[in-house]
Chains A and B, each alone.
Chain A
Amino acid sequence: MEKLLLGVDALSFLEGEGLRVLESVLAREEDEAAGAAEKMGFPVALKICSPDVIHKTETGGIRVLLKSEGEVRRAFAEIVKSFRANHPEKRVQGAIVQRMGRGFELIVGTRRDEQFGPVVMFGLGGIFAEAIRDVSFRLVPIESRDAREMIEELKSYSALKNPRSGTVDISSIEDFLLRVSNLMEKHGEIQEMDLNPVFVEGCDIEICDARIRTTPFHPVAR
């Protein structure tokens, strides 16, 4: 049977593999959320946590830039309540309290393709990758030359290079893509993986959200 790793489960797996993730805590109750936010420092984001939701934006289950304990409490109550009302059939575990990501949004993905075997994908985050299909692919394993070309061949590459987008260290993105390629070689059970969004600012690259589909079989990586 295939398994879906979402939210904190996916993030802690990736963290265990040496990738940096935004600090995230699953809060089951409002008090827990408020305490976690206080400890993390404001602002924070709050995201609904349900094993039945893959794309959180589509369920309205996200609040960002929460600047105080009061805002966190209000947001927690609201998103859990509205989620229960709108999706009575779906389970709710609580909400994830997460440090706000900063910088440029990227999307990085992998997939085991029927013909090509494992592939890795790169694009600029938000909705642009999907809307104008501005993404690049390579076969796993990639070398640093491939990683650099994946970044440079995006139509939106100039946006990434524009100083008004903030300073983005391209070699940090290359390094990140290489790590994802390695991960795919190491873990034959991973069938599909979206790291979306990934925030990059300067040399800091942190995964904000992830979903991973695995199968218990360990097919030989082609």
Chain B
Amino acid sequence: MHSKLKGLFRPESVAVIGASNSFDKLGYHVMKSLVEGKYKGRIFPVNPKAAEIWGIKCHPFLGAVAEPVDLAVIVVPAPFVPETLHECGEKGVKGVVLITAGFREIEDSKGEALQEEIGRIARLYDLPVIGPNTFGYVNLGFGVNASFTPEFSRMNPGGIALISQSGGYCHLCGFLGMEQRMGVSLLMSLGNRLNVGFPELIKYLVEEDEATRVITLYIEGLDNPRELLEAAGIARGKKHIIAYKSGKSEKGDSASRFHTGSLAGDYQIWKGALRQAGILEVGSAEQMIDAAKALDVCAPLTGPRIAVLSGQAGPGMIAADAVEKAGLKLARFSQKTQEIINRLLPPIAIRSNPVDMGPAWYDAKGSLDILRAAVEDQNTDGVIFIAMFASANVGLAKALAEYLKTAPPFKKPVAAVFTAPLCIWDKEIEQMDGANGISIVPSPERAGAVMGDLFRANLLGSVHA
């Protein structure tokens, strides 16, 4: 399965079976994703009714393609899927993305039967199938968008993989992540999991996909969760796994006359099992994005002592509260660091932790010196750096971005909040996000929370604790 998945996710050629020139067909949008996503391999639209699709020569059926095909994306109606899968098997494709819906997920029992049938066909040819009932996948590490959402090609490439049990969640988290400049390796929805599910993908991402450094999962429910949890065990100490579990029913077995039975709610067990498997559990898409971004680019947070440096006192206070809420503490600076701060800031500001760097607005170098001193201080484990960009302190944004171009990466995690009006300093902020071990979050509350998650992830990721 492993080696086949590599062919599926890194195809040299893609056939789109059910490709279309009509906007109201998903086959149109899959073609758009491949073409506009600047896929570098060969694209073979397949449709008996067209000569050309998206300006590319169309084949009447898959067997008519003379060249080898690595990946087949299937968008034909459900009744045609079995014969199409046979064609894929005979053609020797390495894998299939089956977008078509109308299988196990529908109320009609015919759907279940059809899914069983295509399962048998896939086994016959030993064919890995993503789906059915998936929007597809986007592999930014390889440059292929095999989904019906061309907009995902605009995501930044990076080290975060999202494996979701819901296509809707991929879009929710993917689009929110784009706002936060999230760097993605692979984004995909599992659909009905014909023969590729969480365990296979976790193994693949840990062992085969170098671009992926952080694996994020959206889980609704599984018949055999132990397979996922055991697969997560191989990631421990190698790549971080983050999970968002929905469907948090706490209802236990109401028929049980035992305390344990009545308390054993599905979510109660999930919660314990995720932690046992070394998986960081999060409670929202936003939290997932913040934690994944920080784990992707920041140094590990190995202790609980956080320094808060803020260009404005208020947001610094808020971040300090958030640090404590996350179970961490405010660092007490060493004498050396305190002397540097006292030298650079006049006594009109709060100079202990949280540090009010207001007086250094016009002294970008001073702000950077304080940041550096706080990171290098042996009494700190991580730093929150807050600056709100507006006309009066715009110099700081530019100077910071400039400094980070040449500075070595920070050896401790830095969560930064650079709030600014939209569209003015987007470029500077984008440049800084992910650079030198800095991860940007949108608010001081989320800065404190992400530090808490970095700390938890560091404990969870250790093989021996």
Contact = CB atoms under 8 A, between A and B. Distances in A.
Contacts of B268: 133, 135, 137
Contacts of A80: none
A150 interface: yes
A182 to B, nearest CB: 16
A65 B276 CA distance: 41
Given A115-B266, A137-B269, A145-B465, A109 B226 contact: no
Contact of A213 (B258, B264, B465): B258
Contact of A109 (B223, B224, B258, B465): B258
A110 B272 contact: no
A133 B265 CA distance: 10
A47 interface: no
B321 to A, nearest CB: 21
A137 B265 CA distance: 10
Interface residues of A, number: 34
Interface string A127-138: 001100101111
B260 interface: yes
A111 B258 contact: yes
Interface in B407-465: 464-465
A196 interface: yes
A136 B224 CA distance: 20
A139 B465 contact: no
Given A113-B269, A116-B273, A192-B256, A139 B226 contact: yes
Interface centre among A54, A130, A146, A192 (most CB of B within 10 A): A192
B222 interface: yes
Contacts of B79: none
B343 interface: no
Contacts of A107: 259
Contacts of A54: 257-258
A45 interface: no
A99 interface: no
B40 interface: no
A194 B229 contact: no
Contacts of B257: 54-55
B120 interface: no
Contacts of A146: 276
Given A116-B225, A133-B250, A222-B226, A111 B273 contact: no
Contact of A138 (B250, B256, B273): B273
Contacts of B264: 111, 113, 119, 121, 137
Interface string B257-296: 1111111111011011101100000000000000000000
The majority secondary structure among interface residues of chain A is strand
B260 A194 contact: yes
A117 interface: yes
A153 B265 CA distance: 17
A33 interface: no
B132 to A, nearest CB: 23
Contacts of B276: 138-139, 142, 146, 149
Contacts of A178: none
B255 to A, nearest CB: 11
A115 B224 contact: yes
Contact of A110 (B260, B464, B465): B260
A123 B264 CA distance: 12
Given A115-B266, A137-B269, A139-B229, A192 B260 contact: yes
Interface centre among B223, B225, B262, B264 (most CB of A within 10 A): B264
Nearest to B256: A192
Contacts of A135: 263, 268
A194 B271 contact: no
Contacts of A55: 257
Interface string B154-177: 000000000000000000000000
Given A192-B261, A211-B258, 20 more contacts: A55-B257, A109-B258, A111-B264, A113-B264, A115-B222, A117-B226, A119-B264, A119-B272, A130-B263, A137-B271, A137-B272, A138-B273, A142-B276, A149-B275, A149-B276, A150-B272, A192-B258, A192-B260, A194-B259, A196-B259
Shortest 5 CB-CB contacts between residues of A and residues of B = A109-B260, A137-B272, A137-B269, A138-B272, A192-B258
Interface of B: 222-226, 229, 250, 256-266, 268-269, 271-273, 275-276, 464-465
Interface of A: 54-55, 107, 109-111, 113, 115-117, 119, 121, 123, 129-130, 133, 135-139, 142, 145-146, 149-150, 153, 192-194, 196, 211, 213, 222
29 contacts: A54-B257, A107-B259, A109-B259, A110-B260, A111-B260, A115-B224, A115-B225, A116-B225, A116-B226, A116-B273, A121-B263, A123-B263, A130-B259, A130-B263, A133-B263, A133-B268, A136-B272, A137-B268, A137-B272, A138-B273, A139-B226, A145-B465, A192-B258, A193-B258, A194-B259, A194-B260, A196-B259, A211-B258, A222-B226
